[in-house]
Structure 1
Amino acid sequence: MHTTDPGPAAPRPGRPGQPGRSGAAGRRTGWHPLAIADVRQLTPDAVAVTFEVPDALRDVFAHRPGEHVVVRHRRAGTELRRSYSVCPPPADPAALRLVIRRGAPDGFGAHAATRLTPGDVLEVSPPTGAFALPERPGGHHVLIAGGSGVTPLAAMAAAALRADPACRVLLVHSVPTAADALLADELSELKDAFVDRFAVLYVLTREEHGSGLSGGRIDDVKLARLLTAADARPGPGTTFALCGPAGLVTALRRALTARGADPDQVRSEVFTPAGTAPGTAPDGAPSPPAAAPHRTRVTALLGGRRRLATAGPEDATVLDALLRAHPEVPYACREGVCGSCRARVLSGRVAAETLEALGADEVAAGYTLACRARPLGPELTLDFDA
């Protein structure tokens, strides 16, 4: 369990070598109705949805590789929120495009895969997130994806290849079958464009192939063989980015560290499998501890305004209390994975578990996730704009 106390003022952790955005507070919150420009079928259960972004919102929806947005959909008196990585096609890196899988039959994915058409309007939050490649000019970037985890990594691969003519990129994609490989055609075109610097390897968990490298799950032994075959051994000059289910990402991070990878050069992001019930953490991780019996006065700084709420025994998390009074408070997954409800503790204390979306430096700087945090005293102030 993480216990967060407010520390000295610190800048919001950003991407190495990249300046922070001005006006970040105004970009992290709020909803904007965006019309759909195109819906393209990628696989039988996945579509690519591209939005029209008006000129007045170009700066608001400018994005970096690895960032995500939250889509809000209201239907039959219920509200669904889903977080999706921005995944523009290689030929149009500024496009606001999301790859959406069908997922649970009663969720937004099913609606998107079967009913969305150009002209439909969805509410979308501004891009946010800190998932990015470590900056290592001229280095070898090794990207390992499980399933839908390829969406941010594909964008990161294309951006790195364009920006750094001396770098090399290896993308390993683990999927059940070849038919499940999202964006395979675009990755093939990217390989043709950067034939000497980009390689894609597919590991099919439910198909047998002649090569021992292309079949089965990626375990420690398989990982070592893949890296050796691609001349991408951990060490100086090699960086890693991992994205997929929590179990896969945790195992890969552990294996890479054991083989000598610098932990600071291994970036990761996990996602919750489609259909996971709200409030349930991935891979059996514990839910937040039961709420304390006391009541807490919560002050939230959001969009430059102060919002007040009271958290009591009926609230499992700070987010529950805030949403009751202020539905505009940002969140998506409720499982500590997407980071949409990230906030800095300015005063008071919280305890939280399963902070997958935060790095150790962010936790040390006093950040928490409202969807996993519970207050430990009578007063609490959170800054969602930090």
Structure 2
Amino acid sequence: MNTTPPALLDEAPAGPPRRTGRHLLDVTEVRHLTADTVAVTLHVPTALRDVFAHHPGQHVVVRHRAAAGTELRRSYSVCPPPHAPAALRLVIKRSGPGGFGEHATTRLAPGVRLELSPPTGTFALPRLPGAHHVLLAGGTGITPLAPMAVHALRRDPACRVSLVHSVRTSADAVLADELAEVKDEFVDRFTVLYVLTREDRGSGSGPLARRLDASGVRRVLEAVEARPGPDTTFVLCGPPGLVATARQVLAGLGADPSLVRWELFTADGTPPRAPEPAGRAAGEHRVTALLDGRRRAATVLPDDPVLLDALLRSHPDVPYACREGVCGSCRAKVLSGQVAADGQHALDERDRAAGYTLVCRARPRTPEITLDFDA
């Protein structure tokens, strides 16, 4: 009897991601999903189809110049509809005044052009043949997980998928209609469970009504019969509190860390701590960046919060989006020198061990730093 475990592979493509370059794409549809959320579909010309080919879990960065001349950048997961997995569609929520979400939900219309970076990111569903994939989403964290679920169900006829979506009320459950259609297609292998945190549905059947604290996470795991083991994977996406709680519960239940993947869609807003500069007088630190096969150099000034600010002064094409260590758009490998950084939510233990950092959170610890954005 062969006891060799099945191969565990990520869905994300091998090799360095394509993160450079920007392209103007036409908006073809803006569909309101809720009062503050829209689904935006964009046309990808034939010449750019290879550039914008994507895998479930990847994201793009939208760059928009507001009327006042300020530049807005925001990272969004690619979330194609189940019937058109190759389509480039973004689900965008208004999170506050003045941001791109407000622009998209109030003024964006077909015919408008948006400037996008190519898809990138390593967030992916572990590929474990015949596994039970358990996906836990909070709010708009559903956008990368829904396409993961559909892709797994269609690729692996032996797998089972359980998707838990925590939202405030049933009206906030974006993509619920599409997921219902997927449920009809895979009625024996796909389970969708909604947890309503601000809507009392009583004690009858239907969505659970409670906040997902530790006991709530254990409750939903029991509801979908998710038992940590070699044939069960867990993928989490949502706000920091929910993801941290779920990870703690799974660790307590003995889940294999290699079978638990997670991503945040927002951070706690804590600014990066500035470590003491070392080796030179303040203002004499130098950073060299390799990007798209070219070298870029900059001086780090005393009032630069992070290396990203130093680079952007003379190199505006350096990739970034959230500035909170969440999206991973500014991920780079430290080739020489040392940096200090905290709040690097988009990096896991493997990334850190391999020498990667997020430039939006990193400060120099040595006089000279060399970074590779292409690694």
User: TM-score, normalised to structure 1's length?
Assistant: 0.90
Q: Distance in 2 between matches of 1:286 and 1:53?
A: 37
Please list every run of 5 or more consecutive structure 2 residues that lacks an aligned counterpart in the other structure: 1-7
Match of residue 295, structure 1, among 272, 276, 284: 284
Q: Distance in 1 between matches of 2:133 and 2:92?
A: 26
- Tell me whether 1:356 sits opposite 2:345 in the alignment: yes
Confirm or deny: 8 A CA contact 1:291 1:315 kept in the other structure: no
Q: Distance in 2 between matches of 1:330 and 1:174?
A: 31
Match of residue 86, structure 1, among 78, 82, 89: 78
For residues 196-228 of structure 1, give each alpha carbon's deviation from its aligned partner in whole angstroms, at most 9, with x where no partner exists.
Answer: 000100000001122387011112222222222
Q: Distance in 1 between matches of 2:77 and 2:369?
A: 31
Q: Distance in 1 between matches of 2:12 and 2:160?
A: 24
1:130 aligned counterpart, secondary structure: coil
Q: Distance in 1 between matches of 2:63 and 2:368?
A: 31
2:268 aligned counterpart, secondary structure: helix
- The range that moved more, 135-144 or 208-217, is 208-217
Please list every run of 5 or more consecutive structure 1 residues that lacks an aligned counterpart in the other structure: 1-14, 273-281
Q: Which residues of 2 match residues 1-386 of structure 1 at below 5 A? A: 16-17=9-10, 20=13, 24=16, 27-75=18-66, 76-211=68-203, 214-272=208-266, 282-283=267-268, 285=270, 287-289=272-274, 292=277, 293-386=282-375
After superposition, the Cα gap between the structure-2 partners of 1:304 and 1:385, relative to the gap in structure 1 and judged at 3 Å, is: same
Confirm or deny: 8 A CA contact 2:275 2:340 kept in the other structure: no
AA at the equivalent of 1:108: F
AA at the equivalent of 1:71: V
For residues 103-147 of structure 1, give each alpha carbon's deviation from its aligned partner in whole angstroms, at most 9, with x where no partner exists.
Answer: 112111011001111110010001011111112110100000000
**Which protein, 1 or 2, shows the higher relative CO under an 8 Å CA cutoff with sep ≥ 6?**
1
1:361 aligned counterpart, secondary structure: helix
Counterpart of 1:9 in structure 2 is none
Shift of 1:261: 1.0
AA at the equivalent of 1:69: V
Confirm or deny: 8 A CA contact 1:334 1:371 kept in the other structure: yes
User: TM-score, normalised to structure 2's length?
Assistant: 0.93
Shift of 1:286: 5.1
Q: Distance in 2 between matches of 1:122 and 1:19?
A: 25
After superposition, the Cα gap between the structure-2 partners of 1:18 and 1:98, relative to the gap in structure 1 and judged at 3 Å, is: closer
Confirm or deny: 8 A CA contact 1:291 1:312 kept in the other structure: no
Confirm or deny: 8 A CA contact 1:36 1:120 kept in the other structure: yes
Shift of 1:294: 4.7
Please provide the CA RMSD for this pair. 1.6
AA at the equivalent of 1:129: G
Confirm or deny: 8 A CA contact 2:37 2:105 kept in the other structure: yes
